[in-house]
Amino acid sequence: MITSLSIENFALIEKLDINFATGFSIITGETGAGKSILLGALGLVLGKRADLSSLKNKEEKCIVEANFSIGKYDLQSFFEENDLDYEQETIIRREILPSGKSRAFVNDSPVNLQQLQDLSLYLIDVHSQHQTLELSEEDFQFKIIDSIASNQQLVSEFQFILRQYKSAKANLDTKKSSFSAILKEKDYNDFLYQELLAANLKSGELEELEKTYEALNNVEFIKENLEKLLVLANEDEFGLLKNLKEFKAVLQKNSSFSTEYNSLLERANSILIEFDDIVKELNRESELVFNDPEKLEAINQKLQLIYTLQKKHQVLTVDELLEIQNQLEGKVVSVTTLEDEIISLENEIKDFEIKLNEIATKISFSRSEAIPNLSEKLIFILNQLGMPNVRFKIEITPSNHYNTNGKDSLQFLFSANKGTDFGLLKKVASGGEMSRILLAVKSILSQYSKLPTIIFDEIDTGVSGEIANKMGEIMKEMSKTMQVFAITHLPQIAAKGSNHYKVFKTVLGDNTVSELKLLTTEERINEIAEMLSGKDISDSALNHAKALLN
């Protein structure tokens, strides 16, 4: 329940601090006094959007703070899920800065508007004339029936699986679209991949093939040069090898005369050893060099294949061709993988459908069981509210479509008078009848829900006299299990409250402000008398007010 409300710099309110009690509280005031402003401020802490027009003084920030006593309502799990500190006395604060930015806090922890709106669903039900219109909407009607049927757990389970089902369906559509696009290119991609695979490409291969090709293509020239080198090295009379050996032999004769000669001998010997090794290597190379036209042609064909593939794929290296080959392999493999994923998703969706159908059947059955009970309770309450011949015909029809709360469609039919046919509620019920029906609905729901607080904003529209008196009694009865507020213009309802608050305007110089105060017994008598007779309060009005207050 809400225990206090503090408002600063909001609309016509400069500063307001008010405490609220349990039971049935009445809020009255003249038209334009600021009752809607009060609800607007409360709406801010419940997550409604705000703008700079809400600020009374545009240079200062607006602060609205509300205290809620929530110890009895099992809300710990909500606070844990939203990573908020749970307090039995929870404080919600909303700030609107002069810049237009808005901030919200729950027990001093920053929250976003969605979290605030989600929390508000567990705290307060603000009934307005707009909600009277909701009474004719199918979703709202289902909420009524599901509350009576205690379907909340089943509906939550259905919605959880439905979200998974829709996500799987969306994923399936995406994968099918991708599969269709890939399938169009599959044959071509497969051809390109097989072509590259058959080429048996290796990194660095092109450079090696080009070198080998050059060598094979110039084998006669290479062979001729090798033979010249070997002649120069090995000629009997003037060969380099023979001359180097003689050079070493002559130098060796001087080696014993000094360390310098000995060092030169060692160097000459090294040259001889190295040159001898070179000659041997040239001999081996000469033996290996021979004309091989078949190998030359094979290498030429491989080179031409690589050049063709490079041109086709518009690249310059074999490594780039290998990268394209890997990409194509991924695409070819992804077709099979995607097929498997689609089959898996289709099976998953079938499983979801089985579960959804099972839960929807349970929901539909319990709704059908609850409808006679709901009709009976509605008729009983509405008989007290001056509708003795009211009848309801609530029809549940299974469908093949998954709605957010099951698979049923609903017709909420209504007849107010004997001899009249049933018609859709929104078409045949008057404004006064809709107000009374909604009050009956709220009265019934209060027996099934743990909602701490309900605020009726002029639910008495279109009624008066004894009917208003009965409406007041019903709201007072509701206040035994929850905190009830009624904003009203009717003295019969105002007299039923345990607490009575008045909204009024005060003019201070050039400034007009709205205020709210808890009335004393005497002030309350005068307020109800004024509601009965106007500003000029008569003795009979005072006596009538006292009688209403008993």
Helix (H) or strand (E) segment spanning residue 184: helix 152-199
pLDDT given at position 291: 65
Query: What is the tally of structural domains in the chain?
Result: 2
The region of weakest confidence among 32-36, 183-187, 454-458 is 183-187
Closest C-alpha to 404, from 163, 167, 136, 171: 163
Which amino acid, 148?
I
Closest C-alpha to 22, from 498, 519, 517, 492: 498
Domain final position from 336, 369, 387: 336
Q: Which domain holds residue 459?
A: 1-131+448-519
Domain final position from 289, 314, 336: 336
Domain final position from 311, 336, 361: 336
348 lies in a domain? no
535 lies in a domain? no
Under 8 Å between Cβ of 385 and 439:
yes
Q: What is the mean pLDDT of residues 122-132?
A: 79
Q: What is the mean pLDDT of residues 499-510?
A: 87
Under 8 Å between Cβ of 435 and 470:
no
Claim to verify: residue 332 and residue 218 sit in the same structural domain: yes
Claim to verify: residue 93 and residue 188 sit in the same structural domain: no
pLDDT(4) > 90:
yes
Question: pLDDT tens for residues 465-482?
Answer: 888 889 999 999 999 989
Question: pLDDT tens for residues 230-274?
Answer: 777 777 667 787 788 878 887 888 887 888 888 888 898 898 888
Q: What is the mean pLDDT of residues 4-10?
A: 92
497 lies in a domain? yes
pLDDT(350) > 90:
yes
pLDDT given at position 188: 74
308 lies in a domain? yes
Question: pLDDT tens for residues 144-153?
Answer: 999 899 998 9
pTM: 0.66
373 lies in a domain? no
Contacting residues for 432 by C-beta, under 8 A, at least 6 apart: 461, 462, 463
Distance CA 52, CA 59 (A): 10
pLDDT given at position 218: 65
CB count within 10 Å of CB 469 equals: 18
pLDDT(288) > 70:
no
94 lies in a domain? yes
Q: How many helices (H) and strands (E) does the chain have?
A: 18, 15
pLDDT given at position 20: 93
428 lies in a domain? no
pLDDT(35) > 80:
yes
pLDDT given at position 19: 93
Tokens of 291: 């004309």
360 lies in a domain? no
